[in-house]
Amino acid sequence: MIERETPVTDDELHVYVDGELPADRRPAVEAWLANHPEDAARVAGWRALAEAIRARYSSTIHEPVPDRLTLNRIMRRQRSWGTIAAAAALAAFVFGGVAGWVVRGVAAVAPNDIAQFTAEALDAHKLYISEVRHPIEVKAEEDHLLPWLSRRVGTTLRAPDLGSFDLKLLGGRLLPGVNGPAALFMYEGSNGERFTIYCSRLNEARTAFRYDASAGFGAVRWIEGSYGWVVSGPKDKERLKAVAIAAYDQVEGRTPAPSRGSADQLISRRGS
Amino acid sequence: MGTFHQDIEATIPALRRYARALTRDAETADDLVQDTLVRALRSEHLFHGGDARSWLYTILTNLNRNRLRSLARRPSLSSIDDNDAPDMAGPEAGGRDIERALALLAEEQRTALLLVVLEGLTYREVAEIQGVPIGTVMSRLARARVQIKAYLDGERPALRRIK
């Protein structure tokens, strides 16, 4: 019996429980457990723990997979957004300055940081568009709107001219964001619909346009030069996408603001 | 659909199970799985053969770590578990204990434990997913088990179970 009592290490006990012990070592470990009730109790406890974890979570595997997690759905969405990104890249090229539009960020982007960022922008959108009397803090007509928000957010901001979408800039406000102060610009159409553009620091790799929707509202976001932008509005993907592309082109300095009247909205290109 | 896509599709239920146990929240878990699939398809060209399943586990594990880091910047959200309703008796009580015990573990210990115990991966696979030597995986498992035992034995007075 003595020779079978080769000391069994803790590591070996874990390996044994997890089924990775080489077969030729099993008898030795089993003999050890027969003679060491404390170790046997620990091993039994680990097994019970594994059983409990499996009992708690295994049922998930039999649940039907929700639609949004099917591969077909995900591939379809990617294809449509790939097309938009390609169109935007082309537009950026045509309007001068290719300046590295990154369509796919394979790099270490953290989608959940970005999701949180978008969620905050959408929350702000929902909260303030329903304000009848105080949708904004500082009106578009006031000269200090852009210098003030630019200083607080830490980059030279411009509020895009969305006149071609029948959207007029009402003004803006300062908000607390995930990574620091955030600027929120609000636009209103002649029919009363409201769009917002949210901008704050976001230290993530550049991304293509991404669309998210939540409870009647939609948002298109992009990240460029350590700043994230979210354009939110009614849940109309095509329109939001068009507004976002127009906003992007102006904000990133690819095209001049379309109308003369908007020259005062333009401070200068960010970073210059 | 190629085999690569078939392999991914076949792994989705298991990914949901793993994510559910990691996050202990069905909605968050499915968000995580969705992000994982999007990322996997986007970086398909980076996948040079091998086991699609462990590649997906790797992506999900990394995304979850990022998620926890960003949550850590919002301290108000992290104490919810502790203020939860007291333990109930009955069949659900065991499951809740497990959830809380898992919640107490450091992220890398929880990941190692769930990959081995729930997902049935080998130590070698887990080592590759976590990007550490096998010895590190083993010590993570050992520490996870010690901590959970201590918790279930009632070392935390505030949450002691009545036996």
Mean pLDDT, consecutive 10-residue stretches, chain A (272 aa), reads 69 95 93 95 95 93 90 78 60 44 38 81 91 88 91 91 94 89 94 94 83 85 90 91 90 59 36 36
Residues shown for chain B: 163
Nearest CB to B38; choose among A50, A60, A78: A78
**Alpha-carbon dihedral angle through residues B109, B115, B116, B122, given to the nearest 10 degrees:** -120
| Tens digits of residue pLDDT in B40-84 | 988 877 777 778 899 999 999 999 998 888 776 654 333 333 333
Q: What pLDDT is stored for residue B97 in this prediction?
A: 82
> Could you tell me the two tokens for B46?
């980076």
Cβ contact, residue pair A111, B69, below 8 Å:
no
**pTM higher than the cut 0.80:** no
Q: What pLDDT is stored for residue B80 in this prediction?
A: 34
Q: How many CB atoms lie within 10 A of CB B94?
A: 14
Q: Rounded to an integer, what distance in angstroms lies between the CA atom of residue A26 and that of residue A15?
A: 10
Q: What pLDDT is stored for residue B46 in this prediction?
A: 73
Q: What pLDDT is stored for residue B162 in this prediction?
A: 44
Q: What pLDDT is stored for residue B126 in this prediction?
A: 96
Residues of chain A in contact with residue B122, where contact means CB-CB under 8 angstroms, are 20
Quick one: residue A271, left, alpha or beta (phi over 0 = left, psi -120 to 50 = alpha)? left
Nearest chain A alpha carbon to B44? A106
Closest-CA distance of chain A to residue B14, Å: 6
Q: Under DSSP, is residue A162 helix (H, G, I), strand (E, B) or coil?
A: coil
Q: Name residues 68-87 of chain B within 8 A of A (Cβ).
A: 69-70, 73-74
Amino acid, single-letter form, for residue A46? W
- Residue B1 predicted with pLDDT over 60: no
Residues whose CB is less than 8 angstroms from the CB of residue A263 and which lie 6 or more positions away in sequence, other chains included: A257
Beta pairing, strands A181-189 & A217-224: unpaired
Cβ contact, residue pair B138, A11, below 8 Å:
yes
Amino acid, single-letter form, for residue A266? L
Q: Do A53 and B118 contact (CB within 8 A), yes or no?
A: yes
Cβ contact, residue pair A63, B37, below 8 Å:
no
Beta pairing, strands A194-201 & A207-214: unpaired
Cβ contact, residue pair A110, B63, below 8 Å:
yes
Q: What pLDDT is stored for residue B94 in this prediction?
A: 58
| Tens digits of residue pLDDT in B102-121 | 998 999 999 999 999 999 99
Cβ contact, residue pair A14, B145, below 8 Å:
yes
- Residue B137 predicted with pLDDT over 80: yes
Q: Rounded to an integer, what distance in angstroms lies between the CA atom of residue B118 and that of residue A205?
A: 34
Q: What pLDDT is stored for residue B89 in this prediction?
A: 39
The answer to whether B10 faces chain A, any CB pair under 8 Å, is no
Nearest CB to A110; choose among B42, B70, B118: B70
Q: Do B109 and B144 contact (CB within 8 A), yes or no?
A: yes
Q: What pLDDT is stored for residue A269 in this prediction?
A: 35
- Residue B148 predicted with pLDDT over 80: yes
Closest-CA distance of chain A to residue B30, Å: 8
Candidates B31, B47, B36, B43; CA nearest to B9 is B36
**Alpha-carbon dihedral angle through residues A74, A80, A82, A88, given to the nearest 10 degrees:** -150
- Report the residue of A53, A75, A114, A211 to disrupt the B interface, i.e. the one with the largest count of B CBs within 10 Å: A53
Closest-CA distance of chain B to residue A271, Å: 27
Residues whose CB is less than 8 angstroms from the CB of residue B10 and which lie 6 or more positions away in sequence, other chains included: none
Nearest CB to A113; choose among B14, B70, B102: B70
Residues of chain A in contact with residue B33, where contact means CB-CB under 8 angstroms, are 69
Q: Which is more confident, B147 or B3?
A: B147
